[in-house]
Structure 1
Amino acid sequence: MNDSTPHPIALVTGASAGFGRAISERFLRDGYRVIAAARRMEPMRELQRKYGDAVLPVSLDVRDEQAVVSLRESLPPAWRDIDVLVNNAGLAMGKEKAHEADFQDWRTMIDTNVTGLALVTHAFLPGMVARKRGLVINIGSVAGKYPYPGGNVYGATKAFVAQFSRNLRADLIGTGVRVTDVQPGLVGETEFSLVRYKGDKERTAAMYAGAHPLRPEDIAETVAWVASLPPHVNVNAIEVMPTSQSFAALTVTRDE
């Protein structure tokens, strides 16, 4: 990309850490300008100090409908034509079985992973359609396809992401707007499990001990590849696991 070529714009939610931070940095290295959105502003300001005017840090809670609409309406004119939307903001809370779970954990996951993703997409998709170009990358999970004990509502929210992505593709045919669902498996070096286990560092460490999980940079690499493809190519979904992870056997209980 030379200096005379307009720098594409990516909006990344949940950009303060983990996948979002790695994806933002990868886009910046690839010559994008990045609207880095998250609830915590200091990590975004740090990103701006590192990359300068190529970063527009914004405070955003994706669960807040008014905040999402306000972001769309308040973007400076030079930042409004978003080329890539990365719906990354999301979380898991708890790993208890359904009958033992805290409903507030369920509500938080639904509000963030489902409602928040839908709100941001609804706000920025019409602009892409009007410009006849754009790419929506939703960060899903293999948990949306493969069940496991304790994955109850988290897995269900990621199943929503998968089906929503497919349905967007059906609606967007002929518009020039592409949609991809990136579905990671086990990933370490993020705050994901620390949040899920509510700050329990020992339990979090045990989750990844000796497992050689994926890293945030691996998912950023996947996202960057999807975004680099020519406009006539749409990756509907891409599932990414570490080599140490595979499909679980079906569980059978036996009399003792």
Structure 2
Amino acid sequence: MQNIAVVTGASSGIGAATARRLAAEGFHVVAAARRVDRLEALVKEIGPAATAAECDVTSDDSVAGLAEVVAGLGGPLTLLVNNAGGARGLDPVATGSVEDWQWMYDVNVLGTLRVTKALLPALEVSGRGTIVTVGSTAAFTVYEGGSGYTAAKHAQTALVGTLRLELSGKPVRVVEIDPGMVRTDEFSLKRFGGDRARADAIYDGVREPLVADDIADVIAFAATRPQHVNIDRLVIRPIAQAAQHKVHREK
């Protein structure tokens, strides 16, 4: 059977684009997310090179179910893309929502932990495993109103770096992809609780923000290098974004 790749958060945005791209690269893709209807539509689009797996990365039982789906396919698991994540709100620390912080930590950090733990044994057994985690430039830069998200992404990158040290000598690569400004169909919309005007304002005047396919392209590149090549961290921004706080906006 084909090499298997698991992509979390595959129901939209970067995850869906990555699932399509990895299938084109010859993987059998297990597209994992909570929204089954979207997964089924994606798998129908991709064809026989994809399998849908309902998975909530905040649930131990759900992640265990994902591992069972992967094992049932019978082929070698050689790639895990930890893509599930997200942001909620732009509250300052003084009025920060504990509920939003807990959600961001559970999805971005503990979700990465749960899925990695569940699938790491199979990745090791394959003899040529790769773990790609989609982080953010928020993993190493803070900004006003972003404390909850940047804290979660800082923790996620610490997890990834520690994992790379702990897997030294084992046949599993650990890759981190850190995008800057990416315009997807849902990220900013979810951050602002469905407020389309606030979500769209993030990209006002930005000529060409990155899109999901740009990140999928980078993930596929990292995952298809010769196995002895490990891309520790790759930062990708649109040309309009020189830094987290420096974005050129056309009037």
**Bin of the TM-score, shorter chain as denominator length:** over 0.9
Offset at 1:9?
1.1
Matched, 1:226 2:210: no
Offset at 1:76?
5.1
Q: 198-207 or 51-60: which moved more?
A: 51-60
In structure 1, the residue matched to 2:249 is none
Q: Percent identity of the aligned residues? A: 37
Offset at 1:52?
2.1
Offset at 1:74?
4.2
Secondary structure at the counterpart of residue 243 of structure 2: coil
Q: Please show how residues 170-249 of structure 1 align to structure 2 within 5 Å.
A: 170-211=165-206, 212-247=208-243
Distance 1:201 1:99, change over 3 A: same
Matched, 1:57 2:57: no
The runs of at least 4 consecutive aligned structure 1 residues that moved more than 6 Å come to none
Offset at 1:249?
6.7
In structure 1, the residue matched to 2:7 is 12
The CA deviation string for residues 207-236 of structure 1, in whole angstroms up to 9 with x for no partner, is 112212110000000001001100000000
Q: 25-34 or 68-77: which moved more?
A: 68-77
Secondary structure at the counterpart of residue 25 of structure 1: helix
Structure 1 unmatched ranges of 5 or more? 1-5, 251-256
CA distance in 1, matches of 2:244, 2:87: 20
CA distance in 1, matches of 2:87, 2:75: 31
CA distance in 1, matches of 2:36, 2:55: 9
Structure 2 unmatched ranges of 5 or more? 247-251
The CA deviation string for residues 179-224 of structure 1, in whole angstroms up to 9 with x for no partner, is 0010000000331000000000001111112212110000000001
Secondary structure at the counterpart of residue 18 of structure 2: helix
Residue 100 of structure 1 aligns to which amino acid in structure 2? T
In structure 2, the residue matched to 1:37 is 32
Residue 130 of structure 1 aligns to which amino acid in structure 2? V
CA distance in 2, matches of 1:249, 1:24: 31
Matched, 1:148 2:139: no
The CA deviation string for residues 59-94 of structure 1, in whole angstroms up to 9 with x for no partner, is 110000111112213445334521110000001000
Offset at 1:99?
1.1
Q: 72-81 or 120-129: which moved more?
A: 72-81
Contact 1:190 1:216 in 2 (8 A): no
CA distance in 2, matches of 1:76, 1:168: 23
Secondary structure at the counterpart of residue 47 of structure 2: helix
In structure 2, the residue matched to 1:100 is 95
Contact 1:141 1:184 in 2 (8 A): yes
Distance 1:62 1:216, change over 3 A: same
